[in-house]
Structure 1
Amino acid sequence: MARAQGGTAPMQAPAPRRRAAPRAVTVAVAVALVAACGGPTGAPGSDTSAGTTLRLAETAEYATLNPLETMFGITSKLYDGLYAVGADGTVRPDLATGPPEPDATLTSWTVRLQEGVEFSDGTALDSADVVATYATLVDPAYASPLVSSFPFLTDVAAVDATTVTFTLSEPYAPFPSTLTVGVAPAERLTGTVLDSPLNREPVGSGPYRLSEWRAGESLTLVASDTYRGERPDVERLVVAFVPDENVRAQRLRGGDFDGAQLSPRAAEALAGTEGLTVVANPSADYRAVTLPPGVPAFRDPAVRLALNLAVDRQAMVDGILRGYGSPAATPFTPAQGDAFDPDVGYARDPAAAAALLDSAGWSTGPTGTRAKDGVPLAFTLMYFAEDTLRRDLALAVASDLSQIGADVTVEAVDRAGASAGMHTKAFVLGGGDQPYDPDTQVYSALHSAYAPYDPQDAYSNPSEHADPEVDRLLDAARRSTDAGARTQAYRDVQRVLLADPPMITLVVLEHTYVARGLERYTGVEEVVEPHEHGVAWGPWWNVAEWRARP
């Protein structure tokens, strides 16, 4: 697909920005038109000549501010997409004027744009920029990591200055939920994702623009003068990069920061501190243990089921998560709304797990480790070295499984080590990158098309599971125009997974944050978060919409 060159649209009065949707109990799995309401959120910050400043502590420095490399998070402060995620997880219009309009075959989708939108450099945003953004995204030469979310996109064209048509190679019902990519100026979409000028010099139409980036220290965002919506009351965001959680917590307690993302343990330690509030956002972020066939024992379905019966998920929620989460049995979570079946789950039963292994021929040897035909029930369980939550889950799993004769060795690894070992070792997986439709939550995690081990894409179907019935149901759901049929297909998938699990899904997390001064603003709302979290999420996800209380 050729990259389109950007044009300019007639300048008109800025259109009002749509507010986030009110909170809902469950998340819709289709695009919803949400009436403007809700509003801002905030922390105290300080008053300066530049307006109110909010100081936040992030766990790590951002690798890039390019919207074609990261779809959510910090880039959403700088860029607008055609659609955005609302407070309840529904996808709502942002640059678009309404929901995308599909044809009867679900292979052609039309989106109409707001007029009078400007980028932070003062140039106009129109359909040519939308075309260029998506054409560049799927261009192999650009090498965007987001391209996997657009497997069927074959063409994108500007009908006129405010109308864009997307053409797909086959029906894809979840397509609207993928249209949240930040739109960039066509003339700045050059080079590759690695050397793009947008990586360090973002130009978007969002409520903030980049003011300063001190490598290894912090970045500063300020309110954009060209933003089409109401100017943020919090005019300045200073995000410091503080990898050490203890340091983040200490400096937050000491007043250096107005907020930070902390683990449940660290957040709980600050609960009750004067001026600080612990905030927990629901998420689709799950943790699971992969069971790849490179470990011979995992090829036996009886072993996979027994391991699922042996772990104590509720103890992990109560102890490791401090109650900030819930047990899980599959990669489906409540964030998928009606598609999530709350009745699908495992009751912990080590005795039943042991009996199942006995009947399958896995006998206990003199060391206490089970084996069958000379194959031991033994494996290495990897976790990211810096992730204390995954470490604690790995240790809990190892302890639980030792009670049924499984010998588990935990191993701290870096990213490269995890990818390299994914075929022959188990791994504490984090999932839920794009949870706002069931398809984007589970398809690449479960479909056999992603089963062959690829060290360059080790996190897609990391258990290398292949089940024709799961494939059939997932394929039917992504092509169906019937919302009820899609829901039933996904519920059927969960029943299949319960009987023949490809992994040990453990828990769904609530993301925990600690903030100062939220009471000084109206519009503070929680939001359903993906796997990604940090101070671009939490109570600050819609900071541009906060309004200071009089």
Structure 2
Amino acid sequence: MMTKHFSKHKKAIAAAAAAALLSSIALPAQAATPASALVMAWNIDAISTFDPAQVGEVVTNELLQNTCDSLVDFDPKDESKVVPLLAKSWDVSEDRKQITFHLNEGLKFPGGAPATAKELAWSMQRVVTLGYGNAATLTEYGFSKDNVKDRIVAKDDNTLVLTLDNPYPTNLILQAVGANRVSALLDQATLTKNEINGDLGNKYLATNTACVGPYKLVQWNAGESIVLQANDDYYGKAPKLKRVLIRHVAEPGTQRLLLQQGDVDIARDLSPDDLADLDGKPGLKVERVLKPQLFFWTFNALDPVFKDEKVRLAMRYLIDYDGLGKSVMKYLGVPRASFAQLGATGALDAEQGQPFKLDIEKAKALLTEAGYPNGFEANVLIGTLPHSAPIAQSIQQNASKVGVKLNLERMANAQLFARIRGREFQTGMLAWQTSVPDAHGNASRLVYNPDNRPEAKLTQMPSWRSAFQNEAFNTQVKAALLEGDPEKRNQIYYQLQKDVMEKGPMAIMFQMYNILGMSDKVQNWTWNGFRVYYDLASK
């Protein structure tokens, strides 16, 4: 039996040239933002590339989702469902091992060159061929450098076929691959023209986009600003706002000032105090949605101290989940210790998924059992997220009560990510966001580690970054993935979450909100835990 899904797309033309926005970047104080543009203040210092094969940062992923359409998309109203995007429909074979996608007709790259299933097949094959971190999104479902050209195939200009090695849950494949940046349709001709030493255009995509989407990147000044312009050649509905300007503003207080002055429409990194003060103010509003992002404290299992699971468990009891949740994180997130985010298939509920509380005596006892009755000294790397420092400082104070001296080292987010990915750390605090509303999304990245060797360089797997490998956990992750009985599958995940909270390589602390301060001039702001839809916003 074959299942089909359909959607209608209209071709629309969006007007205005990028130059029109560039002339409006310098906004005078107290001036209204342009009526045709969405202006955001956001800490975007983590951006290092726009290559879908390599991007791992939340900020850049959001930008790619608005410039590079994927095969399917998350339903704006229900993130557990997928809806058509590049593909207008798809068929699933009876054995669930083959999915045939039927693309919209008339797809074009910015500039008017035709975009077909052949370029899409090349684009997805390219992810595996390059072998950067995002290759894992495809390799975990059986695609490899040896077989990808046979298993991701364009039958004609409008038909793409994915052949899987196992009967994975279809909805999971649609979420994990179809709605992921790895299925972005890239301009093969442009990337081939700009290829350097066989990099398939990777260096070109460090500062450019070359894909099919509602917007296109027209300017990126690192550490300053990003300008997106509506794509005149887009096959779908034209964005309601022609331009999106993102100004890099690292300090929450400065973001708040710009918002109150009317210099920006949206501030993305406000502190709890800022949010509380702005909430209910005339002309302003606070919007939030729970997202699948976890903020955690990761430990390097190669370190002689943190290779001991009792030490890692002791650190969990130094976290004041309740106190931080009511203060620093009041507007920013909810306490969560499980790797499976709230709302995900297979996730423990709020109570079971957060069994810890601040317990100095428990931490002291665990450290004594581990051979550190007088504590030890360790470094903690933190980035520029507004909550990173106060959380780290709170834990630092609690740690001092058990003889543990924690030295905090603050740096730009891009530097933090580079250090963590290179295993050049002892401990660090950062966030991770899954791409699917299923426990497998995080189990496959935060728990599963198929190859712990340094040369494996599985940089998009926080488990590998932590040099943590547990074969029993690996077996459970693989068993849950292929379990056909939904209840049995959930039970595997429930037990795995409990085990990982005791023995895992990181102390997960909070599940984050996507939260912002916004001018009430902005209408139809649309988002869920997995997507922000710039093209639907209006003024």
Normalising by structure 2, what TM-score? 0.79
Whether the 8 Å contact between 1:81 and 1:94 is mirrored in structure 2 is: yes
Change (3 A) 1:14 1:228: farther
Say which of 275, 285, 289 aligns to 2:293.
Answer: 285
Give the structure, 1 or 2, with the largest relative contact order (CA under 8 Å, sep 6 or more): 1
Alignment of 1:331-346 (within 5 A): 331-342=339-350, 343-346=352-355
Whether the 8 Å contact between 1:444 and 1:460 is mirrored in structure 2 is: yes
Say which of 9, 17, 27 aligns to 1:15.
Answer: 9
Report the AA paired with residue 178 of structure 1. V
Alignment partner of 1:209 is 2:203: no
Change (3 A) 1:126 1:225: same
Report the AA paired with residue 410 of structure 1. L
Q: How many angstroms apart in 2 are the aligned matches of 1:199 and 1:14?
A: 33
Change (3 A) 1:122 1:211: same
Q: How many angstroms apart in 2 are the aligned matches of 1:213 and 1:424?
A: 30
Question: Which digits, 9 at most, give the CA deviation of each residue in 1:486-514, with x for residues without a partner?
Answer: 32221121122234343222111113211
Alignment partner of 1:120 is 2:114: no
Alignment of 1:34-113 (within 5 A): 45-47=33-35, 52-60=36-44, 62-70=47-55, 72-87=61-76, 88-90=78-80, 91-99=82-90, 101-102=92-93, 104=95, 106-113=96-103
Q: Secondary structure of the equivalent of 2:428?
A: strand
Report the AA paired with residue 98 of structure 1. S
Change (3 A) 1:269 1:381: farther
Residue aligning to 2:357 = 348
Alignment partner of 1:514 is 2:517: yes
CA deviation after TM superposition for structure 1 residue 262, in Å? 1.4
Whether the 8 Å contact between 1:288 and 1:429 is mirrored in structure 2 is: yes
Alignment of 1:235-254 (within 5 A): 235-254=242-261
Whether the 8 Å contact between 1:277 and 1:515 is mirrored in structure 2 is: yes
Whether the 8 Å contact between 2:121 and 2:160 is mirrored in structure 1 is: yes
Q: Which moved more, 1:389-398 or 1:303-312?
A: 303-312
Q: How many angstroms apart in 2 are the aligned matches of 1:338 and 1:380?
A: 35
Report the AA paired with residue 354 of structure 2. G
Alignment of 1:108-507 (within 5 A): 108-140=98-130, 144-151=132-139, 152-153=142-143, 154=148, 155-170=151-166, 172-173=168-169, 174-176=172-174, 177-179=176-178, 180-181=180-181, 182-190=184-192, 191=195, 192=199, 195-213=202-220, 217-265=224-272, 266-342=274-350, 343-348=352-357, 350=359, 353=362, 356-357=365-366, 360=369, 362=371, 370-371=372-373, 377-413=375-411, 414-415=415-416, 418-419=419-420, 422=423, 425-452=426-453, 456-457=457-458, 460-461=462-463, 462-507=465-510
Change (3 A) 1:361 1:252: closer
Question: Which digits, 9 at most, give the CA deviation of each residue in 1:110-138, with x for residues without a partner?
Answer: 22222232222223322112111112221
Q: How many angstroms apart in 1 are the aligned matches of 2:204 and 2:51?
A: 8
Residue aligning to 1:4 = none
Change (3 A) 1:468 1:67: closer
Q: How many angstroms apart in 2 are the aligned matches of 1:159 and 1:339?
A: 38
Residue aligning to 1:25 = none
Q: Which moved more, 1:509-518 or 1:129-138?
A: 509-518
CA deviation after TM superposition for structure 1 residue 332, in Å? 1.4
Whether the 8 Å contact between 2:526 and 2:537 is mirrored in structure 1 is: no
Change (3 A) 1:310 1:382: closer
Report the AA paired with residue 290 of structure 1. T
Q: How many angstroms apart in 2 are the aligned matches of 1:224 and 1:123?
A: 13
Whether the 8 Å contact between 2:381 and 2:416 is mirrored in structure 1 is: no
Q: How many angstroms apart in 1 are the aligned matches of 2:248 and 2:513?
A: 22
Q: Which runs of 5+ in 2 are unaligned?
A: 1-6, 12-31
Change (3 A) 1:465 1:75: closer
CA deviation after TM superposition for structure 1 residue 473, in Å? 1.2
Report the AA paired with residue 484 of structure 1. E
Change (3 A) 1:331 1:128: same
Q: How many angstroms apart in 1 are the aligned matches of 2:187 and 2:358?
A: 57
Report the AA paired with residue 63 of structure 2. I
Change (3 A) 1:214 1:126: same
CA deviation after TM superposition for structure 1 residue 345, in Å? 2.5
Q: Secondary structure of the equivalent of 2:243?
A: strand
Change (3 A) 1:502 1:411: same
Whether the 8 Å contact between 2:50 and 2:64 is mirrored in structure 1 is: yes
Change (3 A) 1:465 1:216: closer
Whether the 8 Å contact between 1:118 and 1:124 is mirrored in structure 2 is: yes
Change (3 A) 1:416 1:516: closer
Question: Which digits, 9 at most, give the CA deviation of each residue in 1:68-126, with x for residues without a partner?
Answer: 4438311222221101233343333211123562552x543322222232222223322
Q: Which runs of 5+ in 1 are unaligned?
A: 1-12, 18-43, 363-369, 530-536
Change (3 A) 1:217 1:327: closer
Report the AA paired with residue 385 of structure 2. D
Q: Secondary structure of the equivalent of 1:136?
A: helix
**Identical columns (%):** 18
Whether the 8 Å contact between 1:56 and 1:238 is mirrored in structure 2 is: yes
Report the AA paired with residue 187 of structure 1. A
Whether the 8 Å contact between 2:256 and 2:270 is mirrored in structure 1 is: no
Residue aligning to 2:17 = none
Report the AA paired with residue 72 of structure 2. Y
Q: Secondary structure of the equivalent of 2:88?
A: coil
Change (3 A) 1:102 1:298: farther
Whether the 8 Å contact between 1:313 and 1:327 is mirrored in structure 2 is: yes
Whether the 8 Å contact between 2:215 and 2:231 is mirrored in structure 1 is: yes
Change (3 A) 1:398 1:208: same
Residue aligning to 1:546 = 537
CA deviation after TM superposition for structure 1 residue 257, in Å? 0.9
Report the AA paired with residue 112 of structure 1. H
Matched residues, number: 480
CA deviation after TM superposition for structure 1 residue 287, in Å? 1.7
Q: Secondary structure of the equivalent of 2:87?
A: coil
Q: Secondary structure of the equivalent of 1:98?
A: strand
Change (3 A) 1:121 1:79: same
Change (3 A) 1:277 1:482: same
Normalising by structure 1, what TM-score? 0.77
Question: Which digits, 9 at most, give the CA deviation of each residue in 1:442-500, with x for residues without a partner?
Answer: 32321242545569556631443333332221011223344433322211211222343
Q: Secondary structure of the equivalent of 1:507?
A: strand
Q: How many angstroms apart in 1 are the aligned matches of 2:384 and 2:107?
A: 42
Q: How many angstroms apart in 1 are the aligned matches of 2:438 and 2:456?
A: 27
Change (3 A) 1:198 1:452: closer
Residue aligning to 2:20 = none
Whether the 8 Å contact between 1:384 and 1:391 is mirrored in structure 2 is: yes
Whether the 8 Å contact between 2:79 and 2:529 is mirrored in structure 1 is: yes
